[in-house]
Amino acid sequence: MSDPRPAALPRAHGKPVLAARLRSTPEDFFVEELAGFEPTGSGEHLLLTVEKRGMNTAWTAQRIAQWAGVEVAAIGYAGLKDRHAVTRQRFSVHLPRRNAPAVESLEYRGEGGEALRVLAHDWHAKKLPRGALAGNRFVLVLRGVTGERGVLDARLQAIAARGVPNYFGEQRFGRGGDNLHAALSMFAGRRVGREQRTHLLSAARSALFNRVLAARVATHCWDTPLDGEVWMLDGSRSVFGPEPHSDELARRLALFDIHPSGPLWGRGELRSRGDAATIELKALSEPPGDALRAGLERAGLKQERRALRLRPGGFEWSWQASDVLQLRFDLPPGTYATTVLAELGDLRDASFDPV
């Protein structure tokens, strides 16, 4: 069987223009959730906005559950945040009797520099579900940057103007593509738990999408229309088309109001037609594409679409020193800062360095 691990994905903007270190300290990778709603001010769920350092979301949820004296199932959060970072995000705690301990007692400082503090709290009517956020704001610092300043600035300007391919990040697939190996084993009959099953189905689906997007990047049509294109409205999951190309579609594409889309595989008929369908089916058929597609169909997932193009909001950069570059941008839910960084060049994640 062919190796299912995702191959190096082609860059849309050309060869690497820098090398640098990322996450030299947790402060170099700052992420803040953008709230998708305001608290109701009443209800049985305590909504906490916390800032944490060196702590992942699952570990934080366990600590909040211990603090509140509840099961971890009573804790809600909108998205997963990395351990090697400083992050701000919301958690909800189901407390029917509204008998929350003092919020100040939740603060924590560990011997390894881990830290947790509450920035705001209020009552809300519902448990915080996954995906209940407007997006994420990133402030990233790259250190030890090498590369010609003028060339780097030109690449940054190109990213701000055109966006980047909307690849799923490598964290979706596990180290070395382990989640894809596990997904193929699951499709072959290996039993897994419900939560792991969800992760493996997502990894398989994401890998197939990345194959399609990589094929379109390689042929320079990731942000331009093909015959038979299915369009996705910016900021939503709504799609329309195919329909004949027109000046109006070209205008909306240039304004980032719509984006070309690719398939998230499942049951049902592929919506694209013509040249778009041809390039999609070819990419999806490369081994082990057939096995992944069949497994997703048996699992009952339905055909969906995802935008091929991602434009970071408020994209800004500044040089903090001759070899220190700071980036600021916002991304919608379900997209990855690593896909933005990949268009710059080769980054070494310093959080993996030996201590």
The DSSP secondary-structure symbol of 113 reads: S
In this structure, the dihedral spanned by the alpha carbons of residues 201, 205, 208 and 212, taken in order and rounded to 10 degrees, is -170
Quote the radius of gyration of the chain (alpha carbons, Å).
22
The one catalytic residue in 3, 28, 82, 234 is 82
Amino acid at 81: K
N- to C-terminal Cα separation, the chain: 38
The DSSP secondary-structure symbol of 97 reads: T
Q: In this structure, are residues 315 and 126 in contact, taking their beta carbons and an 8 Å threshold?
A: no
Task: Quote the CA–CA distance of 306 and 271 in Å, as a whole number.
Answer: 12
Task: Quote the CA–CA distance of 60 and 354 in Å, as a whole number.
Answer: 24
Task: Quote the CA–CA distance of 169 and 343 in Å, as a whole number.
Answer: 13
Which of 346, 312, 350 is CA-nearest to residue 17?
346
82 is catalytic: yes
Length of the chain: 355
DSSP, collapsed to helix, strand or coil, labels residue 335 as: coil
Which residue carries 């799609």 as its tokens? 239
Amino acid at 196: Q
Task: Quote the CA–CA distance of 14 and 259 in Å, as a whole number.
Answer: 21
Q: Please report the sign of the dihedral spanned by the C-alpha atoms of residue 69, residue 75, residue 79, residue 80.
A: positive
Catalytic center residues: 82
